[in-house]
Amino acid sequence: MKFVRTWIIPLLILMLVWPMTGTQKSDAAAASRDIQIFLDGALLPSDTAPFIKTAENVTMVPLRVISEGLGVQVEWSASSRTATLSKDGSVLILGIGKKSAQVNGNSVPLEVSVENKDGRTMAPLRFVSEQLGLTVDWDQNARTITLTSLDAVTEEPPVTVPPVDPSPTPDLSGPKQPTQNGELRGAWVSTVSNLDWPSKTSYGKAEAQKEEYIKLLDDLQGMGINAVFVQVRPSGDAIYPSKLVPWTTYLTGTAGKDPGYDPLQFLIEETHSRGMEFHAWFNPFRANTGSDTSKLPANHVAKQHPEWIVKFGGKLYINPGVPAAREHVISAVMEVVKGYDIDGVHLDDYFYPTGETASAKFNDDSTYKSYNANKIANKGDWRRDNINEFVRDLGISVHQEKPAIAYGISPYGVWRNKASDVTGSDTKASVTAYDSTYADVLTWIRNGWIDYVTPQIYWSMTRKEVQYDIIANWWAGKVRGTNVKLYIGHAPYKLGSPEIGWGNAQEIINQLEYNRQIPEISGSIFFSAKDLRRNPLGLIPLLQSYYNNN
């Protein structure tokens, strides 16, 4: 989910092909003048210097920077001479000598193929930056590449944008909370790209997938986890038999193929048999992780309603500005609410995609003109209004059908910076929920449209520009006096990364201990299950000790 933003960075370092002029000598000569790469102001170390392929005029960077320096999951196949990189919903496959790369199942041409140099795998870099909208600056005199990530902590100019405040709707069922006894101790379980469950090796094998989930619950429960948030709708599809959307490819390897059982029913029963809670996690508007529709089933939304689809950043999105498209998503969610004994409906932070630039826009201009009955003059306000209507209407539908279900959303960790809005947090994040994903979370809280909010506070206690405790306090203040519960999204996936504050597993424990000091914080959710299970920097025994003693 969460966390596509941090994985964009390692991808860029792998794939950025950046033209450089003024160097017309040999590769060896170019390599002798080391190129330095800076990420958000910090120098990225490398035991093999990047170099320029002068014939093609591109830069080559060692794969080891990704695997060791930045925490992206890398699997190397010696037999096929390919590297598979996976993180937060995307998969990229690179092969030595290959003229194209596989990005989320789509073949994308490369100007220069991956190669081996002095025992190191070196990769060309360009198209990821173009597709994912990152800022890249080349200083020829200093021979430096400056990368600015979506999480970069740069000052934003003050912006005055009037908040969208639709009329409140009545609370139909009273406050909810996921856990009935004590605090929430949750884990996100991603199915997209087989990140957490099931594994690719279990494609089409029902019993193997069941055993994998049982083992996953064994591991999580052993750490003290009492709730799972399982991604039942990865991208316009389903891990359950649906009358509205096709079977996901992540169960069998083939989109639309029946796995031979009802995975969702099994997951719920197995979870409940342990006294744990099961929350159905939906990605509402992502239609497909790639842009190729040729292999999608006939009943996929991109095939049935291409007029609802916007292509952006190499992915397909359901346009939130189309009322009928929003109703389609709500119907898909309600199919699960009506048909399964779930404890909650959970949405992640994917509303409108981030990463728009002057040359790469989310193309909804015609939708803005066609579906703007309220004549909202500012397009950003119009987008927020679309999401507000969706959040409100889905909550009404959920609570009318099953009042006991908890309905919550996990937005980006910073709502707005104080520099942009006096009511914002004292932070300097370049991506904010309000301005980047058009999620007006405070309106949802104020009007009681959601039962809980789980901001993804994926920074450490020592990252001054986006400091954990400052942000947690800010959110606590916003839910204070309301019926909306506050749970915090934590980032164990960052442990061991070079980002400030993640060099010791105690960071997670310190955050949990801090939460206990704030009455409004009722629990935590960790991203993600696989990152807990790999025991980063010895986190598991620390969690066990903490939860056993508290």
- The pLDDT tens digits of the residues spanning 292-315 come to 999 999 999 999 999 999 999 999
**Dihedral over Cα of 356, 359, 363, 364: its sign:** positive
CATH code of the domain containing 367 = 3.20.20.80
Same domain, 84 and 214: no
The residue out of 103, 126, 148 marking a domain boundary is 148
Q: How high is the pLDDT of residue 314?
A: 92
The residue out of 125, 148, 171 marking a domain boundary is 148
Same domain, 100 and 249: no
Q: Are 325 and 319 in contact (CB under 8 A)?
A: yes
Same domain, 136 and 198: no
CATH code of the domain containing 120 = 3.30.457.10
Q: How high is the pLDDT of residue 167?
A: 38
Distance CA 148, CA 137 (A): 9
Q: How high is the pLDDT of residue 178?
A: 58
Q: How high is the pLDDT of residue 136?
A: 47
Distance CA 189, CA 228 (A): 7
Residue 166 lies in a domain: no
Distance CA 15, CA 60 (A): 8
Which residue range forms the structural domain that includes residue 349?
184-549
Residue 11 lies in a domain: no
Binning the chain into helix, strand and coil, the percentages to the nearest 5 are 30, 20, 45
φ, ψ of residue 183 to 5 degrees: the values are -85, 155
Q: How high is the pLDDT of residue 528?
A: 97
Same domain, 533 and 475: yes
Same domain, 95 and 215: no
Sequential pLDDT tens for the chain (550 residues)? 544 444 554 554 444 434 333 333 333 333 345 676 665 445 566 666 777 776 666 777 776 655 544 445 666 676 777 877 665 455 678 788 887 777 666 666 677 777 877 666 777 765 444 444 444 455 555 566 655 444 443 333 333 333 434 434 333 334 445 554 479 999 999 999 999 999 999 999 999 999 999 999 999 999 999 999 999 999 999 999 999 999 999 999 999 999 999 999 999 999 999 999 999 999 999 999 999 999 999 999 999 999 999 999 999 999 999 999 999 999 999 999 999 999 999 999 989 999 898 889 999 999 999 999 999 999 999 999 999 999 999 999 999 999 999 999 999 999 999 999 999 999 999 899 999 999 999 999 999 999 999 999 999 999 999 999 999 999 999 999 999 999 999 999 999 999 999 999 999 999 999 999 999 999 999 999 999 999 999 999 999 999 998 8
Residue 86 lies in a domain: yes
Same domain, 388 and 440: yes
Burial class (CB in 10 A: 0-12, 13-18, 19+), 56: middle
Residues 6+ apart with CB under 8 A from 24: 54
The 10s digit of each residue's pLDDT in 244-255 is 999 999 999 999
Q: How high is the pLDDT of residue 1?
A: 58
Same domain, 236 and 338: yes
Q: How high is the pLDDT of residue 96?
A: 83
Distance CA 89, CA 242 (A): 22
Same domain, 257 and 365: yes
Residues 6+ apart with CB under 8 A from 428: 153, 154, 155, 156, 417, 419, 465, 466
Q: How high is the pLDDT of residue 93?
A: 80
Q: How high is the pLDDT of residue 121?
A: 75
Q: Are 123 and 114 in contact (CB under 8 A)?
A: yes
The residue out of 127, 148, 169 marking a domain boundary is 148
User: How would you classify residue 206: left for phi > 0, otherwise alpha for psi between -120 and 50, otherwise beta?
Assistant: alpha
Same domain, 133 and 210: no
Q: Are 237 and 300 in contact (CB under 8 A)?
A: yes
Same domain, 138 and 240: no
Give Dmax over CA atoms of the chain in angstroms.
Answer: 72
Cα Rg for the chain, rounded, in angstroms?
23
Q: How high is the pLDDT of residue 150?
A: 44
Helix (H, G, I), strand (E, B) or coil at 315: strand
Which of 453, 528, 519 minimizes the C-alpha distance to 490?
528
Q: How high is the pLDDT of residue 123?
A: 75
Residue 20 lies in a domain: no
Residue 413 lies in a domain: yes
When divided into structural domains, the chain yields a total of 2
Residue 125 lies in a domain: yes
φ, ψ of residue 10 to 5 degrees: the values are -60, -35
Same domain, 121 and 250: no
Residue 171 lies in a domain: no
Rounded to 10 degrees, what is the CA torsion of 242, 246, 250, 255? 150
Same domain, 143 and 220: no
Residue 169 lies in a domain: no
Which of 148, 115, 11 minimizes the C-alpha distance to 73?
11
φ, ψ of residue 271 to 5 degrees: the values are -65, -45
Task: Count the alpha carbons within 13 Å of 43 in the hemisphere toward its beta carbon.
Answer: 9
